[in-house]
Amino acid sequence: MAIRPILHIPTPCLREVAKPVGEITDEIKVLVKDMFETMYDAPGVGLAAPQIGVMHRVIVMDPAGEEEEPRPLAMINPEIIWLSAELRVHQEGCLSIPEYYEDVERPDVCKVEFLDEQGESHELTCEGLLSTIVQHEVDHLDGKLFIDYLSRLKRDRVIKKFQKIAKRAAS
């Protein structure tokens, strides 16, 4: 297992659509383990493969609170098949947009279909924080970031800030 570097905006692959996993190979299983290790080290509650430069539809998450037992969950080829009409506001952050947090309104409940690391198919109804994490991470697989839910002014301000940081790092 290895901790992999997390990419930050404006890295182009964060805006690309990830490809479905055709077969769950040992390489995919190692990817999942590395993603968990990377997410816990960051620390974060979720991570999508494009955030470490791997363009596969793989996400990992752990919605457990600080005082709770870990509840790691990996999803391969997740597909949200239903969203509730009820909305919920949650303050979101992103490992690819470090130290920036904003309130985002999303459906409170979602239903997701996915494969686990053994290739078994699952359907899971997610509520509250878990629903927010699943939606946030699936957005990553579609090249969408949580800042896309913000006003244009806030989004542009954040993007410019990280473009400046990237420019300085490249010089």
Residue 35's Cα: distance from chain center in Å?
Answer: 11
Residue listed under structure tokens 């404006």: 10
Cβ neighbourhood burial of 87 (10 Å; 0-12, 13-18, 19+)? exposed
Domain boundaries, the chain: 12-170
Query: Highest-confidence range of 13-17, 65-69, 160-164, by mean pLDDT?
Result: 13-17
Active site residue 137: yes
pLDDT digit string, tens, across residues 101-124: 999 999 999 999 999 999 999 999
pLDDT at residue 66 in the model: 83
Share above pLDDT 90 across residues of the chain, in percent, rounded to a whole number:
94
**How far is 171 from 153, CA to CA, in rounded Å?**
27
pLDDT digits (tens, 9 = 90+) for 72-106: 999 999 999 999 999 999 999 999 999 999 999 99
Whole-angstrom CA distances from 85 to 7, 63, 107 are: 33, 22, 6
Whether the Cβ atoms of residue 16 and residue 57 lie closer than 8 Å to each other:
no
Over residues 129-161, the pLDDT tens digits come to 999 999 999 999 999 999 999 999 999 999 999
One of 16, 86, 99, 137 is an active-site residue; which one?
137
Q: How confident is the model at residue 169 (pLDDT cuts 50, 70, 90)?
A: confident
Mean pLDDT, the chain, whole residue set: 96
Residue 142 CA to residue 57 CA, distance in Å, equals 9
User: Where in the chain does DSSP place strands (E)?
Assistant: 46-48, 58-61, 73-83, 87-94, 97-107, 109-115, 121-127
CATH 3.30.360.10 given to domain 12-170: no
Confidence of residue 1 (pLDDT cuts 50, 70, 90): confident
**pTM higher than 0.75, yes or no?**
yes
